[in-house]
């Protein structure tokens, strides 16, 4: 008789070939139609499961965990894990893992793409062209704000923030940053001589401000009315971190009345829904949470999540364990 394999739920559609290795270790339940499960359905599907590979769409809270006595590991393919209640995971003896590092460079590339598109009004200009409105070249047509030689501000200077900073070398930009913890001198040097400043200075002096901090109740609405009022009128604000870090209603007001020049947003409060008033604004570039979306990186994220569940089933410590006190 074949040994019974532990069961694993793959909560969202994944590259099928990337998951092949898991068959050696688990009996898989997949969701290749990529439905978003309600909390009740998630609880039902997780009955009797050893673990789950998921994305940020799965909310893992105390209520859910209390229904799942057999669950041992939840493994997200994302680096952000604000959808996990880590304390509840530990209390229920469930290991929680994320997928750090593998997306740093791709996400940093996208932060630049969004900053450049915003500063140089790329999507606004394309919409104009597509709408058949381009009749003549104009000296002040779609004039934007300068990127090279300007000052780049980064709020949240973890691994992605540092990767964003390094790219500033090619544009001759000065980099300033604020973070809970100041980097050491060697890290600052590697991050294109990034200069640590307080949050107030960061807001006042950045020409382009990129948000890369994790979401938590403490970082909720880190950028609201008061913060936007401190920014330069010609500045751009780029959010590739999480919705909720910016007060979207306050940002809409600031964009509408020209308090800042523009915003580039990959994440939104309550996504995939978003504030409808963004659609009426020309000075905002909107993308649907795609900063890590290169095929190679998305495969690397799935792979990292697999490594974590395989370690767990072998009785090893998963390399990206978030709640070490569970051990
Ligand atoms: C994406 O937002 C991630 O956290 O990986």
**CA distance linking residue 154 with residue 92, whole number of Å:** 37
Cα 288 to Cα 114, 163, 264: the distances in Å are 12, 22, 11
Q: Please count the other Cβ atoms lying within 10 Å of the Cβ belonging to residue 300.
A: 19
Can you give the pLDDT at residue 3? 79
Q: Are residues 184 and 276 in the same domain?
A: yes
Q: What is the mean pLDDT of residues 210-225?
A: 97
Q: Are residues 261 and 128 in the same domain?
A: yes
Task: Identify the band that residue 19 occupies on the pLDDT scale cut at 50, 70 and 90.
Answer: confident
Per the domain annotation, does 2 fall within a domain? no
Structural domain range at position 76: 7-102+295-326
* Ligand 1, atom 5: closest residue by C-alpha: 78
Catalytic residue among 29, 91, 174, 271: 271
Task: Identify the band that residue 188 occupies on the pLDDT scale cut at 50, 70 and 90.
Answer: very high
* Ligand 1, atom 4: closest residue by C-alpha: 80
Task: Give per-residue pLDDT as tens, 232-259.
Answer: 999 999 999 999 999 999 999 999 999 9
Q: Are residues 247 and 200 in the same domain?
A: yes
pLDDT exceeds cutoff 90 at 178: yes
Q: What is the mean pLDDT of residues 55-64?
A: 97
Per the domain annotation, does 44 fall within a domain? yes
What are the tokens at 131? 């709408």
* Ligand 1, atom 3: closest residue by C-alpha: 78
Q: Are residues 170 and 276 in the same domain?
A: yes
Catalytic residue among 159, 195, 275, 289: 289
- Which DSSP string corresponds to 231-244? S-TT-EEEE-S-TT
* Ligand 1 pocket, residues with Cβ under 6 angstroms: 78-80, 103, 292
C-beta pairs of 119-127 under 8 Å, 24+ apart in sequence: 119/144, 119/145, 119/146, 119/147, 119/208, 119/236, 119/261, 119/262, 120/144, 120/147, 121/262, 121/283, 122/285, 123/285, 123/286, 124/282, 124/283
Q: How does the average pLDDT of the chain come out, rounded?
A: 97
Q: Are residues 277 and 130 in the same domain?
A: yes
Predicted TM-score (pTM) of the model is 0.96
Can you give the pLDDT at residue 18? 85
Catalytic residue among 121, 192, 242, 298: 242
pLDDT exceeds cutoff 90 at 66: yes
pLDDT exceeds cutoff 90 at 2: no
Can you give the pLDDT at residue 105? 98
Q: Are residues 134 and 38 in the same domain?
A: no
Beta bridge partners of 239: 211, 265
Is 289 an active-site residue? yes
Atom of ligand 1 nearest to the CA of 78: 5
Per the domain annotation, does 1 fall within a domain? no
Instruction: Report whether the peptide linkage leading into residue 272 is cis, meaning its omega lies within 30 degrees of zero.
Output: yes
Q: Are residues 65 and 128 in the same domain?
A: no
Q: Are residues 253 and 134 in the same domain?
A: yes
Per the domain annotation, does 108 fall within a domain? yes
- Which helix (DSSP H) or strand (DSSP E) does residue 83 occupy? none
Can you give the pLDDT at residue 22? 96
- Percentage of the residues of the chain whose pLDDT score is greater than 90: 98
Is 259 within 8 Å of 229 (Cβ atoms)? yes
Can you give the pLDDT at residue 94? 98
CATH code for the domain in which residue 48 is found: 3.40.50.720
- Which helix (DSSP H) or strand (DSSP E) does residue 265 occupy? strand 262-265
Task: Give per-residue pLDDT as tens, 106-165.
Answer: 999 999 999 999 999 999 999 999 999 999 999 999 999 999 999 999 999 999 999 999
Q: What is the mean pLDDT of residues 70-94?
A: 98
Domain count for the chain:
2
Q: Are residues 96 and 116 in the same domain?
A: no
Q: Are residues 36 and 176 in the same domain?
A: no
Can you give the pLDDT at residue 50? 98
Q: Are residues 208 and 227 in the same domain?
A: yes
């Amino acid at each position: 008789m074949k040994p019974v394999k532990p069961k694993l739920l793959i909560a969202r559609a994944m590259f099928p070939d990337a998951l092949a290795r898991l068959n050696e270790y688990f009996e898989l339940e997949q969701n290749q139609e990529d439905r978003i499960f309600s909390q009740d359905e998630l609880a039902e599907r997780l009955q009797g499961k050893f673990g789950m590979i998921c994305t940020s769409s799965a909310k893992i809270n105390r209520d859910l965990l209390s229904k799942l006595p057999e669950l041992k590991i939840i493994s997200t393919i994302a680096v952000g894990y604000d959808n996990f209640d880590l304390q509840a995971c530990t209390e229920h003896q469930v290991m929680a893992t994320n997928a750090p590092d593998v997306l740093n460079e791709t996400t940093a590339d996208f932060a630049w793409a969004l900053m450049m598109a915003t500063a140089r009004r790329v999507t606004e200009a394309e919409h104009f062209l597509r709408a058949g409105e381009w009749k003549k070249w104009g000296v002040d047509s779609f004039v934007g704000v300068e990127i090279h030689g300007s000052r780049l501000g980064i709020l949240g200077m973890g691994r992605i923030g540092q990767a964003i900073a390094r790219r500033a070398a090619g544009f001759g930009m000065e980099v300033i940053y604020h973070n809970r913890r100041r980097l050491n001198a060697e890290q600052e040097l590697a991050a294109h001589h990034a200069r640590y400043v307080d949050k107030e200075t960061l807001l006042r002096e950045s020409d382009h401000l990129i948000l890369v901090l994790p979401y938590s109740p403490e970082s909720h609405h880190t950028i609201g009315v008061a913060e936007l009022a401190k920014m330069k009128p010609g500045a751009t604000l780029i959010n590739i971190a999480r919705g909720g870090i910016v007060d979207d209603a306050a940002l809409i007001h600031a964009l509408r009345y020209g308090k800042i020049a523009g915003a580039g947003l990959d994440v939104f409060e309550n996504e995939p829904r978003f504030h409808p008033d963004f659609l009426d604004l020309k000075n905002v570039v909107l993308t649907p949470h795609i900063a890590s979306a290169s095929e190679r990186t998305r495969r690397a994220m799935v792979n990292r999540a697999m490594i974590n569940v395989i370690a767990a089933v072998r009785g090893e410590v998963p390399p990206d364990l978030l709640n070490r006190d569970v051990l």
